[in-house]
Chain A
Amino acid sequence: MARSLRVFVLFINLLSSLCLAELKVGLALDKGGRDDKSFNAAAYKGALEAKEKLGITLKTVESSDDISLEPTLRTFAQKGYPLIVAVGFVQRDAVEKVAEEFPKTHFVLIDSTTQASNVRSVVFKEHEGSFLVGALAALSSKSQQVGFIGGMDIPMIRRFQLGFESGVKYVNPKAKVLNNYVGSTSDAWRNPTKAKELALSQYNKGADVIFVPAGASGLGVFDAAEQTQKLVVGCDSNQNWVKPGKVLTSMLKRVDIAVYQAIELETKGAFKGGVFDLGLAENGVDYSLDEFNRNLVTPTMETKLKAIRTEIIKKQITVPDYYLNMKKTASPS
């Protein structure tokens, strides 16, 4: 009896897998988890959208620490998931290793790159998005002074800074940009108290808009903007709602679109490995405009931004890329 039952169950399983043939997608998030209101949340949103529109089977796992990243990916691969999405640059090494072990499985790596042919690495042109919000900051600044507060002092955030500064200077060459970093250790991502101090200091020196790619530390800058009645520009996800009326805009990294696109390609059987660098042209980066900041962005500003955006896409404006600068100084030439 038990045996026949087991055969029956097996048969049903087989039948269902043949009939439905839904694509199984494994989504591996990093420490932030699906509610981090930022990077992971965006990836989860993209995957959910794919689940609704494309009818995939989605399994999401949040890693509680960096050590469990690799086993998570391996378990997905062993269970026969054809597509595994790994979110966050901390997963790079894990993806590289597991992708080599399972060459037939497809991987998507968000925010970092690797050479393996079965991995689709998606990175973003942060400097282009930063250029755009820099231009908007300069357009809206009355004091001709704007600020930049980065989290940890690493090349990726320097890339934001260079893009932002170029955007500001493009609109108003006379404008001054104050630059600060919260710190040089990973504590710098979660030190809102310090970030608020930096923001108060910049506002006090005359800056009236501050761009803040600083992770959770950024919340301190939002507090400072509220206290001094000045403006702040959010980062990564749409943060306009955090302090309505005080957030000029947010620079967006469209992780949701990147994840959705990768899943869509897989369902069409058109998955391709390699490095995909998403900029303004690919809608990979953008700035946000919604009911919370509608009154802060005038139609004139919006028209100007649209023009700048088109010019960047057409490559009439070259946005300096910190990564390229680094390579130049690194090479002996």
Chain B
Amino acid sequence: MVRAWRRTHLGSEADRATFRALHSASLASPALREGLTAGSAERSIRHLRALLGTPALALTDTAGLLAWDGTGQHHEARVPVLVTATVERGGTRSFDRADLPCEEPGCPVRTAVVSPLVVEERVVGTLQAFAPYPTAGLARATDEVAQWVSGQLELAELDASRRRLMEAEVRALRAQISPHFIYNSLGAIASFVRTDPDRARELLLEFADFTRYSFRRHGDFTTLAEELRSVERYLLLEQARFGERLQVTLGIAPEVLPVAVPFLCVQPLVENAVRHGLESAEGVGHIRITAHDRGQECVIEVEDDGVGEDPERVRRALAGDASLDSVGLGNVDARLRNAFGDDFGLVVETAPGAGTKVVVRVPKFAPGVHP
């Protein structure tokens, strides 16, 4: 019964061989997707050898051995020579007994097939299969496996560059204290130097603290308390410039101050609110910042009563259209989604002439998120 079931469901011997090969490949791929390192080579090589069925297999980078699986480890010393020879030629090569001198009787490592691993047209390492006899089949199989490994390594490269892009965006945001803000703040401070030197000194210190926080190098996350402190400094400096024209109301539930939030996720929203609520409109601008405790999550709202915005333009800004002048809106949205999942993107409520309200939801706990 069991056998009959197996035959019908798992197919012929050839089918099963295919399944085994695919399974080995799927086991090897997670490690390889981390890139070519000693650690990832160590974890994937067992499955790669199962795929090729050779007595010994080696993975190398262009300098030397990363991992060896199977028998005949006394040949490890010869590996760099094979690497150099293959990298020079740039294609799959086979080596015979003359290249692999061996004293041990019965050692299965007599010949080798070495294929280069190529990522973006650059050789990053080699795959070396060792066998007692050279066969065309082994050469072909080694070549194919090497190409598959190269494919996985290229995907790893892609992942890494996506991550680098994200980090670069945060760095850009950190450096994105706008020149206008610096110019205007220093101008406002200068105007107090004679009339109110004490206030000028305090403002300068606030300015120093604000820039120190914004240029901070380490950590992707901070606490809401830290973030709000920076917002507070920013608003003090803006108030020095706008005076009574800028009215700020804050309502912060103290329970949510320890929540971990992405670094610089509120400050750009406040900067937007000041810009849209005040700079482009006459008269007094009101800005309202609230943070509520909602059980498992915390809700932060930044609201202004300025000129508002066309919802379609906001949608494009959130989708990543950099030509619009909403400072970091798309960036903040992307980082929130990246950290907490797609449920936690920015929500923007706006219409021309009706002000703007940006709502940020942050879960109190998310795996891997620490301030």
Instruction: Please indicate whether A and B come from the same complex rather than being unrelated chains.
Output: no
Interface residues of B, Cβ cutoff 8 Å to A? none
